[in-house]
Amino acid sequence: MSKTLERWGSKRAFILAVTGAAVGLGNIWRFPYVAGENGGAAFLLIYVAFVILLGIPVMMAEILIGRAGRRGPMQALGALAAEAGASRHWRWLGLFGAFTVFCILSFYSVVSGWSIEFLVASINGNFRGASAAEIGAGFDAFLANPGLLIFNHTLFLLMTMVVVAAGVAKGLERLNNLLMPLLYGLLLLLAAYAATTSGFGTALSWLFLPSLEALTPSVVLHAMGHAFFTLAVGACALMAYGAYMPDEQSLPRAAVAVAVLDISVALLAGIAIFSVVFSQGMDPADGPGLMFVTLPIAFSELPWGSLWLSVFFLLLLLATWTSAINLAEPMVATLQGFGWRRSVSTAVVALSVWSIGLLSALSFSTLADFRPLLGRNVFELVSSIPPDIFLPLGGLLIAIFAAWVLPRSAAAAALGVGERGYLCWRNVVRWVSIPLTLMVLLSGLL
Ligand code: PHE
Ligand code: NA
C-alpha cells in the first residue's frame, strides 16, 4: 500500500463531514418539489423505503471501498481490483462518478445562486408585507433575468472552488457542528408555525397517506433517484471521504445516523412547505420554484419575518456549500490522479462546470425553448437524468464491486463490525439492493 492518508480528527468529525455532503438542496429544495410532482405520500413512502434498502447499504459499500483503498476513487478501485484479481477496468467507475457529479454541480451551483439572491433580498426586507402573488411573480421575474442568474451562479462556484483549491474541505467539519443544529432548530420553528396554518392538516395527509394509484414506475424511479441524490451516494463522492475514516469507527452506525438526520430535515421542510402550499391554494406540482416561493410567504407572516428568513437562507447556503465542495472533490481528485497540479485541476473543473452551468442558468429565459432531448430543456435534463439514472447506475456498480468483487477479509475489515455484521450487510446488498436497483432502473427506462 502506498502512503496512508491523514485521518479525520475524530469519529464525530467523519459523521459531520458526511452529513455536510448529504444535507443540502436535496432536502430542502429538491425533495418538496419532486414529491410535489410525484404524488406526495406515495413518493415519500417509496423514497424512505429506498433509503433503508438501497441508500444505507450502498452508502456503506461506497465508504467501505474508500476506506479499504485509502486513496482517491479511481486509484482505490484500480488497486483493490488488482489485489482481488479482477479487471483494472473497475477504475473507470471512478471516472463515471466524476462525470455524474460534474453534471449535478452544473445545476446545483445555479440553484445555490438563487439562495444567494434570496439571502440578499431578505436582508433588504424585500419580502416584508408582500402578498403571495407578489412573491410568486417576483420569483418568475428573477428567473427570467439571465444576467442575475449567471452572476449568482458564478459567485457560488467561486465560493466553492476557493475552498476546494485550498484543499481545506476537511476544516469545514467544524462548520457543520454549528450549522446542523441551527438549521434543524429553524426548521422546527417553521414546522411549528405551519401547524397553526389552515393548510397543515391537508399537508400532513397529502404527505403521509399514500394512495396506491399514485404508484407508477416513473414515481418509483424518481423516488430511487432521490434516495441516492439526497444521501450523496452513487458518484464515488463519499468514497473519497471514506479514505480518511478513522480505523476504529463502525461504518453502519455512521451511515444510519446520517440517513436519519437527512430524512428528518427533508420531512420538516416538507411539512412547512406543503402547509403553505395548501393554505395558499397553490399547486404542489409547481416545480423548482416551490421552496423559493412558499418559504418567503411563511416567514413574511411571522414576527421578525425578514430576520428569520435571512438566517434561513444563510443556513441553506452554508449547507449547500458543504455539499457542493463534496461534489467538486472527486473531479479534482481524478485530475490530480492523472498527475495534474491541484490548482490547475481546480481551475479546469471550475471553468468547465461554470460553462455547462450557463446552459442551466439560461434555461429559464434565452434557452427556454432549447430542448435537446425528450422535449426537456438543459436544466430539466441535468436536474433529472444524473440523479435518477447515473447515481443509481453508479451505486449499482459500487455495490457489485463491494459485495461480489472485493475479497471478504478486506471488505469485512473496512466495514468495521465483525464477521457476522459483514455477512448480514453483504446479504442485504447481494440479494436486496443490487436486484432492486436493477429492477427499478430497467422498469423505469422501458
Ligand atoms: N446530497 C446532496 C443534497 O442533498 C447532493 C449531492 C449529491 C452531494 C451527490 C454530493 C453527491 O443536496
Ligand atoms: Na440530502
Cα–Cα dist 376/320, whole Å: 25
| 11-445 has CATH 1.10.3470 classification | no
230-263 pLDDT per residue, tens: 999 999 999 988 888 888 888 999 999 999 999 9
| ipTM of predicted assembly, 2 dp | 0.98
pLDDT digits 0-9 by tens, 108-129: 999 999 999 999 999 999 998 8
Q: Whose CA is nearest to atom 11 of ligand 1?
A: 232
d(CA 329, CA 381): 23
CA atoms in the 13 A half-sphere facing the CB of 337: 21
CA–centroid distance, residue 21 to ligand 1 (Å): 6
Q: Give 84 Cα–ligand 2 centroid separation in angstroms.
A: 33
User: 323 in ligand 1 pocket by Cβ < 6 Å?
Assistant: yes
**How much distance in Å is there from the Cα of 323 to the middle of ligand 1?**
6
Name 158's Cβ contacts closer than 8 Å, sequence gap at least 6: 350
Relative to the alpha carbon of 383, which ligand is closest? 1
240 lines ligand 1 (CB under 6 A): no
CA distance 35 to 41: 8
Q: What is the mean pLDDT of the chain?
A: 92
Whole-number Å distance between alpha carbons of 287 and 143: 13
pLDDT one-digit tens code per residue, 320-378: 999 999 999 889 988 988 899 999 999 999 999 999 999 999 999 999 999 999 999 99
Is 207 near ligand 1, meaning CB less than 6 Å away? no
Q: Is the dihedral of CA 221, 225, 230, 234 positive or negative?
A: positive
d(CA 225, CA 305): 34
Question: What is the pLDDT tens value at each position of the chain, 446 positions in all?
Answer: 333 445 556 778 888 889 999 999 999 999 999 999 999 999 999 999 999 999 999 999 999 999 999 888 999 999 999 999 999 999 999 999 999 999 999 999 999 999 999 999 999 999 988 999 999 999 999 999 999 999 999 999 999 999 998 876 666 777 777 888 899 999 999 999 999 999 999 999 999 999 888 888 999 999 999 999 999 999 999 998 888 888 888 899 999 999 999 999 999 999 999 999 999 999 999 999 999 999 999 888 888 889 999 999 999 999 999 999 999 988 998 898 889 999 999 999 999 999 999 999 999 999 999 999 999 999 999 999 999 999 999 999 999 999 999 999 999 999 988 899 999 999 999 999 999 999 999 998 88
C-alpha span between 386 and 103 (Å, rounded): 7
Is 258 touching ligand 1 by the criterion CB < 6 Å? no
Q: How far is the CA of 229 from the centre of ligand 2 (A)?
A: 7
Its sign, for the CA torsion 211, 213, 219, 221, is positive
Q: How many CA atoms lie within 13 A of 328 on its CB side?
A: 34
Q: What interhelical angle do 305-337 and 92-123 show, nearest 10?
A: 160
Q: Is 228 exposed, middle or buried (0-12, 13-18, 19+ CB in 10 A)?
A: buried
Radius of gyration of the CA atoms of the chain, in A: 21
What is the full DSSP assignment across 144-177? T-HHHHHHHHHHHHHHHHHHHHHT-GGGGHHHHH
The rounded distance, in Å, linking the Cα atoms of 417 and 299 is 45
Q: Is the CB of 437 under 6 A from ligand 1?
A: no
HSE-up of residue 248 (Cα within 13 Å, Cβ side): 4
Q: Is 232 in the pocket of ligand 1 (CB under 6 A)?
A: yes
Cα end-to-end span (Å), the chain: 44
| 226 Cα: distance to centroid of ligand 1 (angstroms) | 10
19 lines ligand 1 (CB under 6 A): no
Which has the closest alpha carbon to 115: 316, 326, 370, 407? Answer: 316
- Are 341 and 333 spatial neighbours (Cβ–Cβ below 8 Å)? no
Which residue has the CA at smallest separation from atom 9 of ligand 1?
232
Q: Which of 398, 386, 388 is nearest to 440 (CA)?
A: 388
Q: What is the DSSP letter of 341?
A: -
pTM: 0.95
